[in-house]
Structures are given as structure tokens and as C-alpha cells.
């Protein structure tokens, strides 16, 4: 990103962050800023939502509407925000612990609802803000500050889980490849429905295994001929993770009716509906 772009981009805030120098979060923040500007959106059209964690501080660093909620609870808070005003473009940014750990149940049910939002998960396979414990995506056996003998549970595969649930858009990217990341955010923004982007990023402070180099040596872009509408193939690809390579790109796509489209009587956002106490009079007649 050049200086000139910074000046002309209304989303850029230049607010001091509490991220570690060199953190992958910076690249994700810049990619979001640039994509939003490229799409010609205004800050007033965008609502940035997060849970709690290092990644979840991101809404404070973007000049747009923000909603920094509770740990794990960003998806349900988004449900209400989206129900209230589906004209707002909602981007949810949160970490792997927030989304897949504390928020695991909401993740599953969020996929089922298919809200028209973009969900960017900063997946560094470790807990950052609480200083180095294993996350749901930390590899089995990996040693952490807490799991000194190695992780005992198996890791969660978020993209495979999402595809198994017929999530309408599932992508993977890497914070070390901002061009790819931007193209994924752009595709997710263009997609109608719930779009999950699992963004691999190194945690320079607490994850000594999944480093920039580790990811760089393993990630590869999906072949342009890859058919993202084939759910079985997508699932197969989603299982690829580790030394055999990590596929990046849109793994799966199935456009279907969104949360709002499934509520037949909702057209104009709820927030603009005028209501008066007399509205209930017609209901009261049913109690005679």
C-alpha cells in the first residue's frame, strides 16, 4: 500500500494499534481497507463487527461503523444487526479462538442461517491475547505455553466443517499474500450469503511452529480449473493441510437464499419501519 492510497482511502484510520510489530493482523487490516475502498463503499455503509481477542480489536482501527462485542459472540450480535438493517455491509473479523472455540456453537448455527455477511477469521492457530495457549486449530501434539507436553485434542478443520454444512462460501487465504487475500475479500463481498474466509496468519509471539516461513512453504493457489461448486471435491481439498500443502482460494460456493430472503415479509430493513402503539389494536380484537 502506498502513502497516496492511504490518504485517499476514507477507511484508513492510522489509529495506534495494540498489535505486535510484524503481526499478520496488519496485512489483513490493510487488505480490508483497500478492498472496501476499491469497491467504492463509504464508511457509513460498512459495519465492522468482532468478538474479543487481538484480531477482534480490528473494528477500532477502521474508519467505519464498529461493534466490538463479547468473546465468541460476534455471530449472534451480527444476526441482530443484520436483521435490524440489512442495508449495512457487515464484515466480521475475529480470531480462531473467538470463532471456533468460544463461538463454536454460533459458528455452526451461523452457517445454517446464511446471513449475507463476510466473516474473516484471523487463524493463527494459537491464542494471542491470553498469551500462547492452544486454540481449536492448533495441531495435535503441538507444544504451547500451556500444553507443555503437546496438544491432546485433535484440531478442528474449519473449512471442512463449513463445507460439510453446505456453507454458501468457503475460502482460505494467507496474510502473507495480501493480493490473494484482497481477491478473496472481494469475492466474498460480491457473494450473496454467508462468506467464510479462513485467513492463515503467523503469530510471531506465541506460535513457533506455524511461522510465516512454515505457511509460505506450504500454501498454494487452487488451480483456476478447480470446480468450487462440487461439494465432495471441495471437502477433499479442505482436508489438505500440512506438509502435503495447503490449498488457498475459494474452496466451495453454493449460492442459496439468504437469512433475509428466507423471511418472506421482510423487504425494507426493520430499522426504517414506522411503528405506533395503535398497531396492536388489530391483535387485541382477537382476544374478545
Which residues sit at the interface with another protein, rule CB under 8 A? 15, 43-44, 47, 52, 57, 59-60, 63-70, 73, 75-85, 87-88, 105-106, 108-109, 263-266, 269-271, 273, 275-284, 287-288
CB atoms within 10 A of CB 286: 6
Q: What's the closest the beta carbon of residue 114 comes to another protein, in angstroms?
A: 13
Give the SS3 label for residue 20.
coil
Q: What's the closest the beta carbon of residue 96 comes to another protein, in angstroms?
A: 19
Residue 66 φ/ψ, nearest 5 degrees: -135, 150
Closest CA to 128 of 148, 140, 144, 150: 144
CA separation for the pair 24, 16 (Å, rounded) = 16
In the complex with another protein, the residue whose CB is nearer, 86 or 237, is: 86
In the complex with another protein, the residue whose CB is nearer, 47 or 151, is: 47
Residue 142 φ/ψ, nearest 5 degrees: -70, 130
In the complex with another protein, the residue whose CB is nearer, 214 or 259, is: 259
In the complex with another protein, the residue whose CB is nearer, 109 or 256, is: 109
In the complex with another protein, the residue whose CB is nearer, 52 or 200, is: 52
Task: Please say whether the beta carbons of 32 and 49 come within 8 A.
Answer: no
In the complex with another protein, the residue whose CB is nearer, 81 or 248, is: 81
Q: What's the closest the beta carbon of residue 219 comes to another protein, in angstroms?
A: 33
Give me the helices (H) in 104-255, please: 104-113, 158-164, 178-190, 212-218, 231-238
CB atoms within 10 A of CB 194: 27
Q: Find all residues with CB under 8 Å of 148, minimum gap 6, and list them.
A: none
Q: What's the closest the beta carbon of residue 142 comes to another protein, in angstroms?
A: 29
Q: What's the closest the beta carbon of residue 270 comes to another protein, in angstroms?
A: 4
Q: What's the closest the beta carbon of residue 108 comes to another protein, in angstroms?
A: 8
CA separation for the pair 152, 143 (Å, rounded) = 10
Q: How buried is residue 17: exposed, middle or buried, by Cβ count under 10 Å (0-12/13-18/19+)?
A: middle
Amino acid at each position: 500500500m502506498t502513502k497516496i492510497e492511504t490518504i485517499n482511502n476514507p477507511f484508513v484510520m492510522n489509529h495506534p494499534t495494540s498489535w505486535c510489530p510484524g503481526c499478520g493482523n496488519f496485512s489483513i487490516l490493510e487488505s480490508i481497507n483497500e478492498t472496501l475502498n476499491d469497491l467504492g463503499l463509504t464508511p457509513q455503509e460498512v459495519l465492522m463487527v468482532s468478538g474479543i481477542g487481538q484480531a477482534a480489536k480490528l473494528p477500532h482501527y477502521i474508519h467505519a461503523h464498529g461493534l466490538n462485542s463479547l468473546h465468541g459472540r460476534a455471530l449472534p450480535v451480527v444476526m441482530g444487526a443484520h436483521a435490524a438493517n440489512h442495508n449495512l455491509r457487515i464484515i466480521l473479523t475475529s480470531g480462531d479462538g473467538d470463532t471456533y472455540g468460544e463461538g463454536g456453537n454460533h459458528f455452526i448455527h451461523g452457517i445454517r442461517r446464511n446471513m449475507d455477511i463476510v466473516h474473516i477469521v484471523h487463524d493463527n492457530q494459537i491464542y494471542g491475547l491470553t498469551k500462547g495457549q492452544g486454540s481449536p486449530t492448533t495441531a495435535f501434539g503441538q507444544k504451547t505455553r500451556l500444553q507443555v507436553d503437546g496438544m491432546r485434542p485433535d484440531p478442528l478443520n474449519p473449512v471442512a466443517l463449513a463445507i460439510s454444512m453446505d456453507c454458501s462460501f468457503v475460502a482460505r487465504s494467507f496474510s502473507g499474500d495480501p493480493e490473494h487475500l484482497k481477491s478473496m475479500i472481494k469475492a466474498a463481498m460480491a457473494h450473496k450469503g454467508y462468506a467464510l474466509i479462513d485467513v492463515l496468519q503467523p503469530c510471531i509471539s506465541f506460535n513457533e511452529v506455524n511461522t510465516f516461513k512454515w505457511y509460505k512453504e506450504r500454501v498454494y493457489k487452487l488451480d483456476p480449473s478447480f470446480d468450487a461448486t462440487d461439494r465432495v471435491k471441495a471437502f477433499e481439498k479442505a482436508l489438505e493441510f500440512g506438509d502435503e500443502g495447503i490449498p488457498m482460494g475459494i474452496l466451495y460456493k453454493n449460492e442459496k437464499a439468504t437469512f433475509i430472503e428466507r423471511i418472506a415479509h421482510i423487504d425494507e430493513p426493520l430499522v426504517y419501519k414506522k411503528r405506533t402503539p395503535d398497531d396492536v389494536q388489530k391483535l387485541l380484537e382477537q382476544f374478545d
